[in-house]
Structure 1
Amino acid sequence: MSVSRRAVLGALGLAAVPALLRSQEVARGITAPRRFAPFNPAAARCSPPGGLTRTLVFAQDNQREFVQSAARGMALAARQRGLAFEVALADNDPRAMVGQVRKALTDRAGALIVAPIDVATLAPVLRLFIAQGGYVGSIVPPPATTILNAPQLATGRALGDAAVDYIRTRKGGEARVVLLTHDSNQFLAQRFVAIRAALKSLPGVRIIADISPRTVDKAGGHATMRTVLLAHSRVDVVLGADTVVLGALAALREAGLARDDQFIGGIDGEPEAIAEMRRNGPYKASVGLASPIFGYALAQHAADWLEGGSVPQGLDILPSLISPESLGQFERDTADPAAVYHDDARRSAYLKAYGNICHDSRADYVDFGWSSELK
């Protein structure tokens, strides 16, 4: 083993990794960005991985409803496919997540789905997991066997256009806007590029805050909005991920500054956001990313992998704008992800798959920030 490799393993605490993995460099996967062909469900089968357990571990970043709903879909598919299912909750602690994934590696779990907190610290352990033969599904960042991503520009455009339409028709073309971004996450930043572009079409829009909360949860959104309100008592529009926007709405209510004529809009289609829309108050829209459905799909791919099947390298979760008029169908579909997944027409409204990979070709795992919007 090279000194540099030993240093990496030591820093990650991987003394218990099987000797085969500790004795050689773990090769990178596909690092140059590329477009994948559409997924071929009839692709030839491979040999299944040997020596791994039929266990699926979900490395969960925090307890926001979006990822809890994804876990519900995973648990359902795992149960139907005979996989043991475990949730490893990191609670926004990147070191804890590394330790949990390391444990899954040394326990020889067959499959891992991860909602990463810090890509730099987690990536080396994920590469070891893949080299050992296990399946890795990642929600947005690489490396992974299957990258789950939304077309981020289209996602941001859907929310930005809805906000612009509301400002134009209901606010006389003028509004003070707060953007609660994820610009520190390069894989999500494009959605806010699209939102800003939409807002620029209205000269009367003033962005009074454009800021990334410290944590992607309600607490992060609440704390950030409280800071914004120290300088700005009037807020007309708040846009961001549902979980942070819900926290911001709570801060507005505490300050007595929430109004029914505001446009509060989010991304993810979280249950609490949908409940807010039913109240006909400030919360006007959410871009649904149907996390129970993609959670179910990723767990199905994990089971396919362990049985020698070919799975997608890239999986789009397609954005759909949820308004008070359309939320009923979205709720029905996310309540029964199995029915959606096993119906080609219904599944195609939410998911689109690209590329093919199986255990025998696992060296071609995705090691770049995949998106279907790559040029």
Structure 2
Amino acid sequence: MPDSSKGLGGFNRRDLLRLSVITGAGLAVGAPLLSACSVDSGTSGGAEQSSTPGATRKAIGNGITEKKELAPFQFGGPAGEKPGIPKRIAWANTSDAEFFLQITRSIELAATARGLEFVTAIANDDSAKNVEQIETFLQRGIGALCIQPLDANAQAPLMKRAIEAGAAVMSLVTPPSTSQAVADQYKVGNTQGLAAAKYITEKLGGKAKAVYFNIDTIEVLKARHQGVLDGLKSAGSGVKIVSDVQPSALTQDGGFKAMNTILQAHPDVNVVVGGDTHCLGALSALKAAGKDRPEMYLSGIDGDEQALAEIRKGGAYKASFAFAYPLMGYAWGQFAADWLEGKPIPQVMQFNAVELNSAEIIDRYQADMKAVAETWKNAATYFTLLGSVRYQERDQFINYAA
């Protein structure tokens, strides 16, 4: 049976965390009072002493508030002024989910390699605790803060305060930040749709009855939706999208139920695309109805371990498009060290969705994620790095969801 565990609004806990990472949808669990945090808006002129030891706090304005085209990042740019702040990197982790722990291990590995102290704390999805832990980091003194969205409104003043104190703030999609890790959702969806179209053209004679599971209640994923549809349509008029629907819950059970309903009207569906969670549920429904066939094409997004296991079997589940979270953590550690040496770091780290469609490719991907220090040399496979900023230009922080 598919996984039917549900969290807030029908989302299970792991999927809520994953979506907060890739979409920037902060998990608003109640904004705590910030009066005890001594938060300054940074609008006063001049400089003042920061609560961060060894730093002089500097007003930095509002940063870059409108989206702009950023040039490709180039390694080896000239170093500038060095910040006189502690060589310490902090990771304000919100959960003990496995992919967050992978990020933790990778940050620590890079920090150790570059002679930085690494500190972390887990908030267990408690917004007030998360804010308290960040405040503790700032009081102790840090050179870099790594952070992901939990309650973006509550986190933002502390993130700006860290930037004012001279620290690099490296975030998963949440502004304000020195460097943001994001995903181009249209590109992610289009990559998935084009891969399905290629299979339809080469293996299904250009004819398909396709199902797409969207998640349009999350605004930024509408771009992914359009990308998938544009990709599918590239296979020509033989492709019929017989159902484009959002299941009732972001769980495997949600996908299972939606697929059962679809099969009643369209029993000859042969292509299913969406997120791994929904598509795994759909596969369970196809199996239960005796309609799963090896020549079918199912693909998901996220690199879910269960999806990868299905791909290895060589059946209907053909591909999953994954994101290199462990490598991102290692990059954060490296960029923190560069920042403290006055070197430039990228303003945006854009995830490239990696197509995992065979046991060989899955093995290579998993090996890369286990050996991030080596993989780092070929990071362009997994990330597109854009923009450039140094400590002395810290007023050019990104203040929009890139």
TM-score range, shorter chain: 0.7 to 0.9
Cα offset, 1:146, TM superposition: 0.5
* 1:190 alignment partner AA: A
CA shift in 2, pair 1:165/1:142, >3 Å? same
Alignment of 1:158-237 (within 5 A): 158-171=191-204, 173-181=207-215, 184-186=218-220, 188-200=221-233, 201-211=236-246, 220-229=250-259, 231-233=261-263, 234=267, 236-237=270-271
Q: Which runs of 5+ in 2 are unaligned?
A: 1-30, 45-58
Q: How many residues align?
A: 347
2:397 match:
365
C-alpha displacement of 1:57? 0.9
Q: Does residue 1:289 correspond to 2:309, yes or no?
A: no
User: Could you tell me whether the CA contact under 8 Å between 1:61 and 1:116 is conserved in 2?
Assistant: no
**Unaligned 5+ residue runs, structure 1?**
1-10, 215-219, 371-375
Deviation at 1:120, TM superposition (A): 4.4
TM-score scaled by structure 1?
0.77
Query: Which residue of 1 is the match for residue 48 of structure 2?
Result: none
Aligned to 1:27: 61
Task: Confirm or deny that 1:128 pairs with 2:161.
Answer: yes
CA contact (8 A) 1:49 1:359 kept: no
Judging changes above 3 Å, is the alpha-carbon distance between structure 1 residues 253 and 78 closer, same or farther for their aligned structure 2 residues? farther
RMSD of aligned residue pairs (Cα, Å): 3.4
The answer to whether the Cα contact below 8 Å between 1:180 and 1:240 also exists between their aligned partners in 2 is: yes
Paired residue for 2:34?
14
Q: TM-score under structure 2 normalisation?
A: 0.73
Higher mean Cα deviation, 16-25 or 320-329?
16-25
Structure of higher CA gyration radius: 2
Sequence identity percentage: 26
- Listed one character per residue, the Cα deviations across residues 326-368 of structure 1 (whole Å, up to 9, x for unaligned) are 3333233222111121x3xx23333332222222221110112
Q: 2: distance between equivalents of 1:246 and 1:309?
A: 44
Q: Which residue of 2 aligns with 1:339?
A: 374
1:23 to 1:190, Cα distance in 2 relative to 1, 3 A? closer
What residue number does 1:248 align with? Answer: 281
- The alignment partner of 2:349 has SS state of strand
Q: Distance in 2 between matches of 1:179 and 1:126?
A: 35
* Corresponding residue SS for 1:232: helix
* Matches of 1:85 and 1:256, distance apart in 2: 51
Verify: 1:356 aligned to 2:395, yes or no.
no
Question: 1:160 and 1:16, CA in 2 relative to 1: closer, same or farther beyond 3 A?
Answer: same
Aligned with 2:354 (options 297, 308, 320): 320
